A and B are shown apart, each in its own frame.
Chain A
Amino acid sequence: MKRLVIISLVLCLSLSFFVMYSPEAHAEKTITFLHRWPNEPFKGFFDYAVEEFKKEHPDVEFKVLRVLNEDYKQKINVLLASENPPDIFFTWVGEYGNKFIREGIALDLSKYYEEDSDWANNIIPSTVKPFTYKDKEYGVPILMDVRMMAYNKDIFNELNLETPDTWDQLIDVSKKLKNNGYIPLGCGNKAPWNGALYVTTLNQRVLGLDTVKEDYNRYTGDFEETGYVEALERLETLIPYMNKYPNAVSREEERSMFVNGQIAMMALHTIEFPYVKDMQYEWGTFNFPEIEEGKGDPSVITGAPEGFMISKETEHPEIAMEFLKFMTTPEMGKKWVEMTNVISTTKGAVNENNSTPLMVEVIKEVEKAQDMSIWLDTATDAKIFQPYLAGIQQVLNKEKTPQQVMEEVRKAADELRKEVE
């Protein structure tokens, strides 16, 4: 009996060993692929892509690592610093991705972009731009996330309101909504990025994209312009129209209040559209209003692509690149939109057949846009965005003035510049 137990134990162990290592045993090439979607529908798309790709390349095996946002942020640093970094890894753009390029972790892909112009021309150019560093491409964008103002059409119709085109109209509309017992604007800023993204848009509208980009850059940013204070002051102006205690409300709660018709307008990301699709009210979107006194182009969208980079250490750069190209072909782009309802970076992937008119509207804006205002919290260095985001929470709580917050951001920017020089 005892012997039987031992034998079966040994068998089990050796079997599990075999199972664990079987892929490597007969595949010639293994690609480690790290993305941030263990959740559906995105996980399904990447699994599908891997399977389809393997049909064409039977000699390639994949090791897929899926880690959700916060875990991803932590894991990526450890993995990339290890001796076996993932061949393909997910990244956001802005300073977040730039640091991988600067530290020599990301592979220069410009060669592939030049070689295969058919494929490259199929990707919306404004989404590749944020992956470009010193005129070289370092990544392949897969999806595009745009922050639009969503509004409850039923409420607007009931009160005979028009969507606002200018700042003054926005205030005016908000006043009317408030007088009629609705919460005009949603702001769930418990995780502090949401407020920061309001400021991302406001900064661009007030100061213009060029100034903003210069200040978000860790080498040149000084945040000296008074426009940054003005942008925060405008955020302050909006507080009376927001839901109470914005810092105590989470993004999910904000979204549910919008879906329930308590909030009339909220800044909604295209990536969140699937979450509000069951809303019983009719809803639409508009681009954040123009600030007439501001220098910024009102047609510039607030948004950012997300995508993948290839590790410089990879043994199979060609295959890794082949896979990234495969995921961004027009067919796969359409598949992406069908499966996830999120904007693809491939031209023509979002169309009348597979998307709501709303999405088609948004993608037009994206294709038209020369450039975009990238999220404050990925565009800047952690040394800048930490005090900035904390400060925005305190402005919303009326615990600090915009001047005090920008004073701190300026101090942080000065220190950072000195440090990186």
Chain B
Amino acid sequence: MNNQKKLPYLFILPGFIIVTTFIYYPVVKNLYWSFYKWSPLSQGREFVKFSNYVQLFNDEIFIIAIKNNFVHAVISLTIQVFGALVLAAILEDKIFRKISGFLRSMYFIPTLISITVTGLLFSFIYNPQIGLLNEILGLIGLGQFATGWLGNSDTAFPSVIAMGQWIGTGYITMLFVVAIQKIPQDLYDAAIVDGCNKIQKFLYITVPQVKEMTFVAVIFTLSRSMLVFADVFVLTGGGPGYSSQVLSTYLYNSAFINNEMGYASTIAMIIFIITILFYLLQAKIFSE
């Protein structure tokens, strides 16, 4: 009997050890380091209390970075979550049954390509001289909008976001397709009897029925927006100026270029807090 009580703990032990060593311990350690000023090269570590945090909120690059993360999040939510849901509903519609398999793979492929490769691909698309985007704009008579997409402060970050949407939408669409397939057909049949049109079916049956999946998709998209790094790093490196800096690229800069590990830890703490807050908020909203 006694053994049987202990057994479950034994089962969770490996997981517990891994999570503690690789997640909880570093988080606590990171919090600790964020109160220090230190460089990886020097031995001295100076305790500076909250000065890293104070500095952070007076730092205009940090403000730009956090703003960019939020812009990324809002756009991603609209396109990736809402857009993907609509897309999934369309794919699951009878009209598209025949080609939906093909389209699903098409939309999913970007997720499978390495982000470095995608970055390179989009660098070509955005290239001012030979870029596909400028060519297309020229062809459809919008040549006056052609520009060096990654070189202007006002177009660089939107271009990065656009690539993120291209990569992410297909994945979320797949999640929704699976969720929609699980909705009992009876509901739709009943709706037809009641005289619902397609939009009404979507709004009153599909949307409420995929609530759980929406929760997952929202969390996934938001955390991806908050942690976005490679997209920016590959396409713009945070430039021009600081216009496309996000929290993680700024963290990288502080840690590995400026050698300010304490400050980088502080930024990491902020990212952590924001993500946790988002999670709690969503958990509350969706549990109601």
Contact = CB atoms under 8 A, between A and B. Distances in A.
A244 interface: yes
A224 interface: no
Q: Which of A100, A105, A257, A399 gathers the greatest number of chain B CB atoms within 10 Å?
A: A399
B258 interface: yes
Interface stretch (B73-81, B149-157, B191-199): B149-157
B147 interface: yes
The winner among A192, A245, A246 for most chain B CB atoms within 10 A is A245
A383 B259 CA distance: 10
Contacts of B265: none
A207 B41 CA distance: 33
Contacts of A397: 151-153, 240-241
B40 A394 contact: no
A38 to B, nearest CB: 16
A190 B239 contact: yes
Given A390-B242, A391-B241, A247 B148 contact: yes
Interface string B146-183: 01111111000000000000000000000000000000
Contacts of B128: 244-245, 248-249
A355 interface: no
Contact of A382 (B126, B149, B153, B258): B258
B257 A399 contact: no
Interface residues of B, number: 27
Contacts of A391: 241
B127 interface: yes
A105 B41 contact: yes
Contacts of A73: 256-257
Nearest to A75: B256
Contacts of A157: none
Interface in B232-251: 236-237, 239-242
Interface stretch (A61-69, A76-84, A330-338): A76-84
B253 interface: yes
A248 B242 contact: no
A78 B39 CA distance: 10
A103 interface: yes
A393 interface: yes
Contact of B127 (A247, A253, A383, A390): A253
A248 B259 contact: no
Contacts of A77: 40-41, 256, 259
Interface string B26-47: 0000000000000111100000
Contact of B40 (A81, A247, A248, A400): A81
Contacts of B69: none
B258 A386 contact: yes
A368 interface: no
B147 A245 contact: yes
Given A77-B41, A253-B129, A247 B259 contact: no
Contacts of A243: 129
B151 A247 contact: yes
Contacts of B148: 244-245, 247-249
A246 B256 contact: no
Contact of A190 (B39, B151, B241, B257): B151
Interface string A407-418: 000000000000
Interface in A370-410: 382-383, 386, 390-391, 393-394, 396-397, 399-400
B123 interface: yes
B40 A383 contact: no
A245 B151 contact: yes
Interface string B50-61: 000000000000
A257 B129 contact: yes
A55 B241 CA distance: 51
Given A192-B240, A248-B152, 15 more contacts: A77-B40, A99-B41, A190-B237, A244-B129, A245-B128, A245-B148, A245-B152, A247-B240, A248-B147, A248-B150, A248-B151, A249-B148, A253-B129, A386-B257, A397-B153
Q: Which 8 A-B pairs have the closest CB atoms?
A: A245-B148, A248-B151, A248-B148, A247-B151, A393-B240, A247-B240, A245-B151, A77-B40
16 contacts: A81-B40, A190-B150, A190-B237, A247-B150, A247-B240, A248-B127, A248-B151, A249-B127, A249-B128, A382-B258, A386-B257, A390-B240, A394-B241, A397-B151, A399-B241, A400-B241
